[in-house]
Every structure is written in C-alpha cells, then in structure tokens.
Chains A and B, each alone.
Chain A
Amino acid sequence: MAVSTLSRVAVVGSAQTMLRASWTELQHVDLIAAAVDAVLRGSGLDMKDVDVVIDCGSDVLDGRSISNCGFLGAMGAHHKEESRVEEDGLFGAVYGTTKIAGGSASVALIVAYSKPSESDVSAYYATLSDPFYQRALGLDHIGAAGLTANQYLTTTDADEEGLLRIAAESWRKVADNPSVDLDRVPSLADIQASPLVADPLRSLQIARPVDGAVAVLLASEQVARRVTDRPVWITGMGAAMDSHFLADRAPGELEACRAAANMAMKRAGITAVSSIGLAEVSGASAAGEAMVIEALGFAPRGHAVDAYSEGATVAINPSGGALPADPIMATGLVRLHEASSRLTGRLGGDVGSRAIVHGAGGLGMQNNCVFIVEV
C-alpha cells in the first residue's frame, strides 16, 4: 500500500464538555458549540482554517431526523464540507484522517456528541436489532452486555472477581478525571452492592450513559508543525464489524476488535504491544472492557485483569474509561481526546510516547475502531 506517499496526520487539539448524567439546562447545539469553541481556542487555528467537519450523533437519540442538518451552525459547518458518520466518534476521526492523508483537506474538525438524558437509551439500543428475531425478545444493551459477559466467564478462566476489579479500577480512576461529573465515587463495596441488572453484571459494571460533546482538530503535517510543537501523530487505524446476531459471534471474545487492532498495528508497524504505554478503550461493560484488552493483545484470553496489575506495561484508561461515563456516540472520540492529551503531557503523568485508542458501537460492541497515536 502506498501509504508512504501520503501526508501524515496529527491531532492538534481536542476538547470536551463536562460529561454529566444530564445536562438539562443545555441543548444539543449548546454542548456541540461549547466543545467546538473550546477546541479552537488556543489552537492556533480558527474556523476559517477548517476545511471539513465530520460529526457523529444519532437521529434516534436526538429525536430528530438528519439531526446534523439542524446542528450545522453549532458545528461551524456553514458553507463547509460536512458529513455525518452515524457511529461512534472515533469512526468520524477515521474519515477526517483519510481526508487529510489523501490531500483533500488540511484541517478537519471532528465532532461527536450525545444527549441520552433526553431519550430512552434502552429504545435506542433495542432499535439497533433486526425487527423480527432479536428485537421482539426485549434485547437491549443491558441484555447484550449480560449475555456476552456470561459467555466471557463461561468460555475463559476469568471470574466475577476479576470483573469487579476491572470496574473498581475504572471508578477509582475517574475520581481524578475533572471532566466527569460525579456526586461520589463508588467503592468496590458499592459496586458489589449495586443491583444485578444482567448477571453476572451489576449496574456499576455497565457503561453509564452521560450527556456530552467532544471535538478534535486533525491537521496535515504542514499545518501541525506550524500550530503546535506537540502534534500527536496518527500512525495506524483499523476498523471491523462483527456479525449482527449475538449468537453468530465468537463467544467470550471480540473478533472484530482484534481485526481492527491488527489492521491498525500493522499500519503503524507495531509488532509488540509492549511498546504501547497507554490504552484508552470503550468497554460497554466490565466484561466488554476485558475482552477489548485481550483483543488488543495486552493479556491472553481470560486474563485481562492481569493487565491492570501493578507493574503492567500499559496504563489502561487513566481517564476512567467508558464505564463511569459513556456519551454514547462520543465515547471513542473522548478516548482519542484523553489519549492525545496525555501523550502531550497536558494531563501530567508519563505514559510513554505511544497509545492505542478504541471505540465501539452497536449491541454487544458489534463495530470496533482502533487508532494508534504517537508523539
């Protein structure tokens, strides 16, 4: 593949709104515009420099058809090239990256948002199902998470204690994330005491839907060198979608995530994941996160929990990840924002020079996207 002739692409800025269970005082346009305004501020770029806007949101969540059509002004897309990728925001970043890499744009603005507090999250997920077989049974994200978690425990050596620990790690870390609004941070005991909503999963082990928006500025090498001394290079991308029917997928693992990761790592020229110091991943549940960690190659199957041990080579979700804060269509792009912010040292801590970022969409994480970013 003639990738070497293509322009390098960098993340040159990113910003998000506070992620909250409910932003009742703001509309979609307010959240979107706040994120876009924030990402431009201090970036060395302004709206005139943006060649293309790619946005990720959901008509069903928004209660409005072609909802992007009503939000163009808030996204700064007026009289610009704009497209909606109706999937997790990280897939929107794939679009922006290819557009710049191919030479059709110098600066791309990627916007992703959700406001699940206005909507019925269960209905959003239930309507993802085929209308004849799965939907009539009342399958939603909770049921799908429970079934896949059950498969994970049944087909591997993993146990419920490990899943509790993974959730506890997420909640412990999110306490240090100023962008996630929480009344209090639940302890391991709180997680254990939370209701069993889809056994083996308890409510605090399933991603919590939150309202929020995130914006990421991508730029060509030429622009990136001009506007920042800390560009975060996108060196690999991959994506893959699994079968629709849960029963058709490999039990206890995420084949599509593995395929996406292999594609991204191959493009980045990475042969060993030990060179990756940071992973920001979007698990739909504690078991989902475990399966992502395994699919990315950080642990053998069934042993994801070991990757969270002291002395592990990779920092997993220092942001807290998706369990404490899942702004549905924005979750993967928030991970890219977090990872690039950490690589540039903006958030402190040493996470090395290379990160892997993961986003997912669909029931039981059917669609997966993986980025490799480096400084």
Chain B
Amino acid sequence: MRSVAIVGAGQTRHARRRKDVTQVALAREAVTSALQDAGLTMDDIDSVVVCSGPVLFAAVNQPEKWLVDAIGARLKPVVRVTSGGGTGLAGALAAVNQIRGGFAERVLVVAYDKLSEGALQYSISTLYDPFWGREFAVGIMGFAAAYWRARMDSLGHTEEAAAMVSVKNHRNALLNPYAHVKKEVSVEDVMNSRPLCWPIKLLDVPPISDGACAVVLSSEDAAKASADPAWIRGIAYYSEAENAANRSMIQSEPLTIAAQRVYKQAGITNPRRQCDVVEVQEPYTCFELSYYEGLGLCPPGGAADLISSGATLIDGDIPVNPSGGCMGANPIGATALIRLAEVAQQVRGRAGNHQIPDARVGLMQAGGGWANLRGVAVVASTKG
C-alpha cells in the first residue's frame, strides 16, 4: 500500500463569530495557512476534498461549489465528503484513498463551519426521522446527555469525572493560540454551571465557533520535498445503523472496530504506552471519558480513574487534548480535521506552546451523527 503523509496543516483564527469573513473566505484562510506550512501553492495540489457540517448550518447547499473560486481550485477535482461532526476525518480518509489509489499525488482537505450563521440546535435536530422522534430532538445534546446518564450507572462516568475533562481542556486551551475560549475553570465551576440537558451543564459543552482547518496530504514521492512529514500509520471510519437492534450505547462498537483496525494497521498493541499524544473530538465532556475506553487507553469502566489520575493532563503519561480539544474552539465541520492537524503538528514538532516533548506517535479520534459515525487515525514521525 502506498504511504501517505501530512506535509502541511493550517487553522484559522477561530471565534464565536467571525464578522470579517464569509464562509468561503474563512475556508480560504485555512487553505492559505496550510499551503504556507507545506511550502506549496495550489498549483501543486491535484485534488481537493471539502468538508463541512450539515448544510442547514449555514444556508448554502453543497457549499464547495461556492468555495472553489476562493481557494483557487477551479478545474481541479473537488468533492465534498460529509459525515456530521466527523466530516473532517472522513474527508481526510477520502484524500488518503485518492493518493493510495493513484488518483492524486497531493490532496488538499479543507474543513470548516461558520456556525454563527444559523440556528445550531434546530438544524441538528433535523437529524431525526421526521416521522419518528424529531419532535423530541434537542439537537444531539439531549441524546448525548441521556446516554451519559446511563453510563454513570454502568461505567461510573460521574459528573465530577466529566468536570475534570472540562477543567483539563479549558486549561490546555490557554496554551493554544487558535483557541478562542481562554478561561480557567474549576471542578466546582463546572458542577455549579447551569444545566442545559442534565447531566450536561454549560461548562461540559464546547463553544459554538466559526473556524476552518486545512491539511495537505501527500504521496511518499511527493513528500520527499517535505522536511518533516507526519505519516498516516492507520486511519479508519466506521458506521452503525442508528436504531439497529440491541445497539450498545454504553461502549461504542463503531469506535471499537475503528480503533482495532487502525491499531492493526499501525502495529499498536498497547495504545497507552505506544502513543505519545492523543486528540479526541469531545462535543461534550462525557464523550471524552467514553473515548478513553473505546480507544483502549483504559479498561471499560476505567475512564473516571484515568482522568482522576492525571495521566491525561498535558504532562501526564498519555496526554489527551493538549490543544484544549473542542473546549477551546468547536467549528463542528472543521473539528475532526483540527484534531488530525493537531496530532500531525505534534509529531512534526510544530505544536508550539502545547507541544508534547519528543512526541513521535499521535492518536486521534473523531465522529458524528448519533454517536454512530466513529473514526480513528494514528500518525507518526516515521513511516514505519
């Protein structure tokens, strides 16, 4: 199989509302930054994959068709890959396949959302079947909270444990120049914050953001010009029918399948020991706890102990979300690609103030929908 590397990554300044740019200009900003990081121009790019959240977020259907001119991709292959919140990773996977399959040597993936444009919870609620349940939908927050409540009983994912995730990620975001929420919070602050969909409280929830991220993926040949490629050692994205019989909401099967597949590709048998840094997409704090278990960083039911132990702090033995994760900025359609870009920059030694010393292997997770679309990737500083 052909090797594929990330040779450039860039993000925009994220904000609750970017009043200075249109959707397409926002995406362009990330593209410019990624190309600069890679030392390339659009002339070097064979194909473009665009990712964004559901189109009802921002009133433009198939927005890649508006975006094409702003990113200078006219007359190149351009497609949009969508997969809810995990779309950025699904798009990166599409790009990896384009390179492995010989369709392109270098692919630009650009992922963005300008959530300030629309009514977020309303548009997310249209995920539900119009005949069956949509009238009860509370975006995806009601659903997420409901199964967190269930996991409290079966796995001990307490409100305090989730609050520790919020504290950690908020603190890490202080180090991240791209984060727009820069606020230290305590466990008490989180516990006392206003309930939105109990047990989810205000400080369990990331901000609503405008932002974009872009990544340049390259074949091995084309990566030779790059001084510090981050090699994709494994990548997968799995789905689960949302109302299949006996669907487990306690441990995510698609996450487990994706993680096992990626670990096999990457030769990882002990992720906690073999990975130096982890970035996960935590739309709510409770999900980060689930991912610890789904990714095998701890045994099932061990997440609360793992966060309490301090192991996932930025100076712990398995730092999770040193960037601050979604807590610093959450432009949904871009978030998954941001996680991938963050681990890539970590293993390239370009993560700035939140750099994990000597990070060589990075693990990331992302997903979307009803917690039924789940992806994982491992990147490393060597080809393996």
Asked if A367 is an interface residue, CB under 8 A from chain B, the answer is yes
Give Cα A245 to B69, complex, Å. 9
Give Cα A1 to B244, complex, Å. 43
Point out the residues of chain A lying under 8 angstroms from B102, CB to CB.
Answer: 1-3, 6, 98, 101-102
Point out the residues of chain A lying under 8 angstroms from B368, CB to CB.
Answer: 66, 69
Q: How far is the CB of A55 from chain B (nearest CB, A)?
A: 10
Name the residue on B nearest A96 (C-beta).
B97
Point out the residues of chain A lying under 8 angstroms from B68, CB to CB.
Answer: 241-244, 366
Point out the residues of chain A lying under 8 angstroms from B278, CB to CB.
Answer: none
The residues in B between 41 and 79 inclusive whose CB is less than 8 angstroms from any CB of A are: 47, 54-56, 59-62, 64-69, 73-79
Binds B, one of A42-50, A74-82, A223-231: A74-82
Point out the residues of chain B lying under 8 angstroms from A78, CB to CB.
Answer: 239-241, 244
Residue pair A127, B241 in contact (C-beta under 8 Å): no
Residue pair A83, B65 in contact (C-beta under 8 Å): no
Q: Given A1-B105, A83-B90, do A65 and B97 touch, yes or no (CB 8 Å)?
A: no
The residues in B between 357 and 372 inclusive whose CB is less than 8 angstroms from any CB of A are: 368-370, 372
Give Cα A6 to B219, complex, Å. 14
Give Cα A362 to B90, complex, Å. 22
Residue pair A366, B79 in contact (C-beta under 8 Å): no
Point out the residues of chain B lying under 8 angstroms from A99, CB to CB.
Answer: 97, 100-101
Which among A81, A245, A255 has the greatest number of chain B C-beta atoms within 10 A? A81
The residues in B between 233 and 255 inclusive whose CB is less than 8 angstroms from any CB of A are: 236-244, 253-254
Asked if B20 is an interface residue, CB under 8 A from chain A, the answer is no
Point out the residues of chain A lying under 8 angstroms from B75, CB to CB.
Answer: 240-242, 255-256, 259
Give Cα A362 to B74, complex, Å. 14
Which among A78, A255, A263 has the greatest number of chain B C-beta atoms within 10 A? A78
Q: How far is the CB of B228 from chain A (nearest CB, A)?
A: 23
Residue pair A64, B130 in contact (C-beta under 8 Å): yes
Binds B, one of A87-95, A274-282, A345-353: A87-95
Residue pair B77, A79 in contact (C-beta under 8 Å): no
Q: How far is the CB of A53 from chain B (nearest CB, A)?
A: 8
Name the residue on B nearest A78 (C-beta).
B241
Point out the residues of chain B lying under 8 angstroms from A240, CB to CB.
Answer: 75-78
Residue pair B80, A85 in contact (C-beta under 8 Å): yes
The contact of A60 among B55, B65, B98, B238, by CB within 8 Å, is B55
Asked if A58 is an interface residue, CB under 8 A from chain B, the answer is yes
Point out the residues of chain B lying under 8 angstroms from A86, CB to CB.
Answer: 55, 62, 80-82
Asked if B186 is an interface residue, CB under 8 A from chain A, the answer is no
Residue pair A79, B65 in contact (C-beta under 8 Å): no
Residue pair A69, B80 in contact (C-beta under 8 Å): no
Q: How far is the CB of B378 from chain A (nearest CB, A)?
A: 15
Q: How far is the CB of A19 from chain B (nearest CB, A)?
A: 22
Residue pair B126, A65 in contact (C-beta under 8 Å): yes
Which among A3, A79, A97 has the greatest number of chain B C-beta atoms within 10 A? A79
Q: How far is the CB of B365 from chain A (nearest CB, A)?
A: 15
Asked if A212 is an interface residue, CB under 8 A from chain B, the answer is no
Point out the residues of chain B lying under 8 angstroms from A100, CB to CB.
Answer: 101
Counting contact residues on chain B (CB < 8 A from A), the size range is 35 or more
**Using an 8 Å CB-CB cutoff, how does the interface string of A241-268 with B read, 1 for contact, 0 for none?**
1111100100000011001100100000
Residue pair A60, B78 in contact (C-beta under 8 Å): no
Asked if A361 is an interface residue, CB under 8 A from chain B, the answer is yes
Point out the residues of chain B lying under 8 angstroms from A64, CB to CB.
Answer: 126-127, 129-130
Give Cα A243 to B71, complex, Å. 11
Residue pair B369, A69 in contact (C-beta under 8 Å): yes
Residue pair A84, B82 in contact (C-beta under 8 Å): yes
Name the residue on B nearest A255 (C-beta).
B75
Point out the residues of chain B lying under 8 angstroms from A244, CB to CB.
Answer: 65-69
Q: How far is the CB of A248 from chain B (nearest CB, A)?
A: 7
Asked if B226 is an interface residue, CB under 8 A from chain A, the answer is no
Q: How far is the CB of A245 from chain B (nearest CB, A)?
A: 8
Residue pair B80, A2 in contact (C-beta under 8 Å): no
Name the residue on B nearest A128 (C-beta).
B61
Point out the residues of chain B lying under 8 angstroms from A77, CB to CB.
Answer: 239, 241
Asked if B373 is an interface residue, CB under 8 A from chain A, the answer is yes
The residues in B between 322 and 348 inclusive whose CB is less than 8 angstroms from any CB of A are: none
Point out the residues of chain B lying under 8 angstroms from A128, CB to CB.
Answer: 60-62, 65
Q: How far is the CB of A110 from chain B (nearest CB, A)?
A: 13
Give Cα A64 to B240, complex, Å. 18
**Using an 8 Å CB-CB cutoff, how does the interface string of A111-145 with B read, 1 for contact, 0 for none?**
00000000000001001111100000000000000
Point out the residues of chain B lying under 8 angstroms from A87, CB to CB.
Answer: 62, 79-80
Give Cα A259 to B60, complex, Å. 26
Which among B77, B94, B99 has the greatest number of chain A C-beta atoms within 10 A? B77
Give Cα A37 to B80, complex, Å. 27
The residues in B between 162 and 199 inclusive whose CB is less than 8 angstroms from any CB of A are: none
Give Cα A208 to B373, complex, Å. 34
Residue pair B369, A130 in contact (C-beta under 8 Å): no
Residue pair B97, A98 in contact (C-beta under 8 Å): yes
Apart from A243-B68, A366-B65: 15 A-B pairs, beta carbons within 8 A = A1-B102, A58-B61, A63-B130, A64-B126, A65-B124, A72-B241, A81-B239, A84-B90, A87-B62, A101-B103, A102-B100, A129-B66, A130-B60, A260-B77, A362-B62
Chain B interfacial positions (CB closer than 8 Å to A): 1-2, 47, 54-56, 59-62, 64-69, 73-84, 90, 93-94, 97-103, 105, 123-124, 126-127, 129-130, 221, 236-244, 253-254, 257, 368-370, 372-373
What are 16 A-B pairs at a CB distance below 8 A? Answer: A2-B221, A60-B56, A65-B54, A65-B124, A69-B127, A70-B127, A72-B240, A77-B241, A79-B257, A84-B81, A84-B90, A94-B79, A128-B60, A242-B75, A361-B62, A361-B65
7 smallest CB-CB distances across A and B, nearest first, come from A102-B100, A98-B101, A73-B241, A65-B54, A239-B77, A101-B101, A127-B61
Chain A interfacial positions (CB closer than 8 Å to B): 1-3, 6, 53, 58-60, 63-66, 68-70, 72-73, 77-87, 91, 94-95, 97-104, 124, 127-131, 237-245, 248, 255-256, 259-260, 263, 361-363, 366-367
